[in-house]
Amino acid sequence: KQEVTQIPAALSVPEGENLVLNCSFTDSAIYNLQWFRQDPGKGLTSLLLIQSSQREQTSGRLNASLDKSSGRSTLYIAASQPGDSATYLCALTQGGSEKLVFGKGMKLTVNP
C-alpha to C-alpha distances, 74 to 19, 42, 97, 101, nearest whole angstrom: 10, 23, 23, 16
CB of 71 to another protein, least distance (A): 17
The set of residues, in sequence order, having a beta carbon less than 8 Å from that of 75 and lying 6+ positions away, is: 20, 21, 23, 35, 47, 48, 62, 63, 64, 88, 90
CB of 79 to another protein, least distance (A): 26
Q: Which is nearer to another protein, 98 or 112 (CB)?
A: 98
CB of 110 to another protein, least distance (A): 20
Instruction: Tell me if 24 contacts another protein by CB under 8 A.
Output: no
Instruction: Tell me if 49 contacts another protein by CB under 8 A.
Output: yes
From 8, 83, 98, 112, residue interacting with another protein (rule: CB under 8 A): 98
What is the spatial distance between Cα 23 and Cα 18, in angstroms, rounded to a whole number? 17
Name the residues that contact another protein, by CB under 8 A: 4, 32, 34, 36, 41-46, 49, 51, 89, 91, 93, 97-105
